[in-house]
Amino acid sequence: MSFLILANAPNALEARRAFLGNSGLLLSGAVVALLAGKDSLAAAGDPSTDSDVRILNTALGAELEAIAAYQVGAESGLLQKPVLSLAVTFQGHHKEHADLLSKTIAKLGGKAVTAKAKYTFPTETLKTQTDVLRFAATLEKGAVSAYLGAVPVFGNRDLAKAAASILGDEAMHWAILRNALGEIPVPSAFMS
Amino acid sequence: MLAGAVLAVAAGMAPAADGTRPGDPKNGEAIYARCLACHALAYDRTGPRHCGLFGRRAGSVKDFGYSEAMKHSKIVWTEKTLDHFLANPLAAIPGTAMGYAGVTDAKERADLIIYLKQANRSPSCRK
């Protein structure tokens, strides 16, 4: 089974843990920079700020859905360790993204969206660990594209930088999920 | 030229919205992967469902939380309006919640639109 690529590669797993740990440090750096840069954040009511808040809220909505999706995966009983641990770790990253986005929206004078009471997922198609991994990979790849499309349209470049930091994290998730599926982790030199 | 267009239609492709090139649904499906953080064909997510898209008035999926801008856009989704919107969503409908730079390549938009048209005829959209 493809996830055995993880189970049978202790050195790779160790390296990945260190990799993920470092990525957390990088994101933390962006968070600090964003929250510390109070002067660079415009007041609510400015058209550019209103647009940024809308973009952030859309990203927050997607992050909250991703958290719920990983919860479904973790509770499905289909994931075995170390894949289960990986899913929980990635869910934790999405929680950090959501927390940052929510705080930033509030700081800009906006109202952050909250998690929906219920999400729709294609659970009828999730029968095996591979199905769950493939579904998660699809969401992560989409997240990379979504952030890639958001970075250029932020009015505030600090927000673009923070979004790019999240983009990098989503790309790592996607690559590792592909690796767990036995696919080439990084299939091309560019993302779109 | 005309024969090529006929063959393209016969193969499930369709002229681009600007009439310059047939869309390729297979490539369009790959491009649609970019949308999957927020959209699905058959159900609403951060963005609304795409089943039933063509001919639908923008902002009209029941119970979906659209932006005011989308609700009041008076757009009806066709190949042409979709092509315009996808090229630069924020310019096409200022105030849209779709904070995305767009699909700037006209060929890619043609592929994406023909994929969506094909997907709308698929069983997953006929449930």
Radius of gyration of chain B (CA): 14
Domain ranges of chain A: 4-180
Strand partners, B23: B14
Q: What is d(CA B79, CA A28) in angstroms, rounded to the nearest whole number?
A: 43
Question: The whole model's pTM is what?
Answer: 0.83
Q: With beta carbons less than 8 A apart as the criterion, state whether B79 and B117 touch.
A: yes
Nearest to A84 by CA among A3, A170, A187: A3
Per-chain mean pLDDT for chain B: 88
Looking at this protein, which amino acid is placed at residue B61? V
Q: What is d(CA A84, CA B94) in angstroms, rounded to the nearest whole number?
A: 42
Look up the CATH superfamily of A4-180.
Answer: Ferritin, core subunit, four-helix bundle (1.20.1260.10)
Q: What is d(CA A165, CA A27) in angstroms, rounded to the nearest whole number?
A: 6
Test the A interface: residue of B32, B38, B67 with most A CBs within 10 Å = B38
pLDDT in tens, A22-38: 444 444 555 545 544 54
Name the residue facing A61 among B31, B35, B46 (closest C-beta).
Answer: B46
pLDDT in tens, A112-140: 999 999 999 999 999 999 999 999 999 99
Q: Residues for chain B: how many in total? A: 127
**Number of C-beta neighbours around residue A85 at 10 A:** 15
Domain ranges of chain B: 2-126
Specify the CATH number of the domain B2-126. Answer: 1.10.760.10
Reduced to 3 DSSP states, what percent helix, strand and coil does chain B have, rounded to the nearest 5?
45, 5, 50
Which ipTM was obtained for this model?
0.84
Q: What is d(CA A118, CA A104) in angstroms, rounded to the nearest whole number?
A: 25
Q: What is d(CA A163, CA B19) in angstroms, rounded to the nearest whole number?
A: 36
Angstroms from B62 CA to nearest CA on chain A: 15
Q: Residue ranges of the alpha helices (H) in chain B? A: 2-10, 25-32, 68-71, 79-87, 89-92, 106-120, 123-126
pLDDT in tens, B69-98: 999 999 999 999 999 999 999 999 999 999
Q: Please indicate whether, in this complex, the C-beta atoms of A142 and B38 are within 8 angstroms of each other.
A: yes
